[in-house]
Chain A
Amino acid sequence: MSIDYRKITLDGLWHNNPALVQLLGLCPLLAVTASVVNSISLGIASTLVLIGSNLTISTFRKFVPDAVRLPIFVMIIASFVTCIELLMQAVTYELYQILGIFIPLIVTNCVIMGRADAFASKNPVSASLLDGAMMGVGFTIVLVILGGLREALGSGTLFADMHLLFGPMANNWTIVLIDDYKGFLFAILPPGAFVGLGLLIALKNIIDKRLKDRLLANAPTQSEIPINKRVRVTGHIS
């Protein structure tokens, strides 16, 4: 069985995007996306954990007894999360304080557990590695878009405080969209995240529908075949 790397990539980024389609990991997604810098940091942290856990679980997949697989997965994930947490504590201490409880909570992120159980424990190492990376990137992209939307609407800036993550070179990355903006508290608060995520999902569905329509328009022969046939109740069924 050959591995379809293209399909894995597309699934992670679009067709089976963890945030937009599977709706997993909503707790951190909704809680920390009040600004771009928070979103990027949490996205990177989750992606690293996802890659590491997928890699490890896939490597040992043949030795893990089925009955106790979930506790074992959790322990593997937790050790990676601890590494990331210590790393953030050492390198980006302010961000570590801002993100607070949501870094240790990556352990309970359903995206990671879901990929471990549904993909990594059944597939070879290379495929699992790619799957982890693509799911992580897909998750991060949604986080960043939502973070950008909420930051622009809520505080009227973009990329504020990026130096917390990228060091002094990012000191003047902040883009002030509107001077003297009074702030729109709703976008910063959790309800704004729910509405924002809902709109993003709607946008994805619209794009999917357009793509499908275009596909159907290019292949008209398929639509000529009648799909619904009346069921004959009496007589011969040939």
Chain B
Amino acid sequence: MALIRITSPHVHKPTSTAGIMRLVILATLPGILAMTFFFGWGTLINIVWASALAITFEALCIRARNRPLSFYLRDNSAILTAVLIALALPPFAPWWLTAVAVFVAIVIAKQLYGGIGQNPFNPAMVAYALVLISFPVEMTRWTAPFMLYGEGWNILAFTDTFSLIFGSWVEHADAFTSATPLDEMRHRGGLTTEEAWRASDVLANVGAWHAVSAAYAMGGVLLLYKKIFSWHTPAAFLLSLGGIATFFYIISPDTYADPFFHLTVGGTMLGAFFIATDPVSSATSNKGKIWFGIGIGSLIYIIRTWGNYPDAVAFSILLMNLAAPFIDQYTQPRAYGHKASKRGMKEKI
């Protein structure tokens, strides 16, 4: 019997950046479909528009920096950033809002720091946070899910959506705008959560948001199965958010929303599986990733409940991006044959 001798490394095929990025973009497909199903054509139009802009800005920057153009353009990372921005923005965001966001993400948050692999912050989240604090009116103009209107699935026509995004806002706009469930839960006045659930139209249709979150989670599980990222960050993120929410829900169910609500509404799932797992801006070691996830989960709960903004995924992830080098410093794994290094304050001898 002849044994085939194979030397290490035992990899089946080399993983390329472009391949990983393509897979992540594919994994957003369920989310894109769900968003389109419940919120209309806006998401798709935004994705196409944002991707076109992203490629243009990326090409201009690479040209200005004298780097090989086709090599960097072919890694798909700009398109992934664009897709994530388009998914995070409101579906009927006006065209210039998307343009500002993509410009900030690609030019300022990514290329000015040195291009792919050099950015300390997740570009999509920098862009999202910037437009959120700059244009509060446009950014809070979400649409109600289309299952709300009349009988059956009554989606806004493609051409109407197109003119809404690229033309004037006024025509049909007000009929479609609505608060998000997180807004509704936040500004419920003196009502208890129980009364808010009964009184609010938006919360009655929270199913659409659950469905979108489930779709993101499906994509995330696919990436987990494909070993694009390890389970540490999303698990720590979701468990800490859920754990804290459960704790406060048990203490006072009238004041605090239930953990299921926190996990399945807003940007939680998109953040947990597609943003926090960004290999560049997150912590490196497995132990570090767990702390990174815990930090994000707790910050989200704190800002959502006691802060000024209804959702906090972007801010929390940016804050933890800032802390990632610090986490890495203290969670460096022990190399085989070495003693664990001592970190922290030096003991006086």
Contact = CB atoms under 8 A, between A and B. Distances in A.
Interface string B115-154: 0000000000000001001111000000000000000000
A189 interface: yes
B133 A186 contact: yes
A201 to B, nearest CB: 12
A184 B134 contact: yes
Contacts of B108: 195
A184 B99 CA distance: 13
Interface in A174-195: 182, 184-187, 189, 191, 195
A195 B109 CA distance: 11
Interface residues of B, number: 7
Contacts of B134: 184-187
Interface in B84-134: 100, 108, 130, 133-134
Nearest to A184: B134
Nearest to B137: A182
B168 to A, nearest CB: 13
Contacts of B130: 186, 191
Contacts of A184: 100, 134-135
Nearest to A202: B112
Contacts of A186: 130, 133-134
Contacts of A195: 108
Q: Tell which of B100, B130, B134 has the most Cβ of chain A within 10 Å.
A: B134
Interface in B9-45: none
A195 B121 CA distance: 15
A91 to B, nearest CB: 35
Contacts of A191: 130, 133
Contacts of A189: 133
A27 to B, nearest CB: 21
A186 B135 CA distance: 8
Contacts of B136: 185
Interface string A187-221: 10101000100000000000000000000000000
A33 to B, nearest CB: 17
Interface in A86-139: none
A182 B131 CA distance: 13
Nearest to B100: A184
B280 to A, nearest CB: 20
A18 to B, nearest CB: 24
A77 to B, nearest CB: 35
B340 to A, nearest CB: 38
Nearest to B108: A195
A182 B97 CA distance: 12
A185 to B, nearest CB: 4
B57 to A, nearest CB: 16
Contacts of A187: 134
A192 B21 CA distance: 31
A184 B137 CA distance: 12
Contacts of B135: 182, 184-185
B145 to A, nearest CB: 27
Nearest to A186: B134
Contacts of A182: 135
Nearest to B96: A182
A184 B136 CA distance: 10
A197 to B, nearest CB: 14
B321 to A, nearest CB: 15
A56 B222 CA distance: 72
Interface in B129-186: 130, 133-136
A184 B130 CA distance: 10
A117 B35 CA distance: 62
A153 B134 CA distance: 11
B79 to A, nearest CB: 25
B32 to A, nearest CB: 28
A184 B134 CA distance: 6
Interface in A25-83: none
A195 B134 CA distance: 14
Given A187-B134, A191-B130, A195-B108, 11 more contacts: A182-B135, A184-B100, A184-B134, A184-B135, A185-B135, A185-B136, A186-B130, A186-B133, A186-B134, A189-B133, A191-B133
Interface of B: 100, 108, 130, 133-136
16 contacts: A182-B135, A184-B100, A184-B134, A184-B135, A185-B133, A185-B134, A185-B135, A185-B136, A186-B130, A186-B133, A186-B134, A187-B134, A189-B133, A191-B130, A191-B133, A195-B108
Q: Which 5 A-B pairs have the closest CB atoms?
A: A186-B134, A185-B134, A186-B130, A184-B134, A185-B133
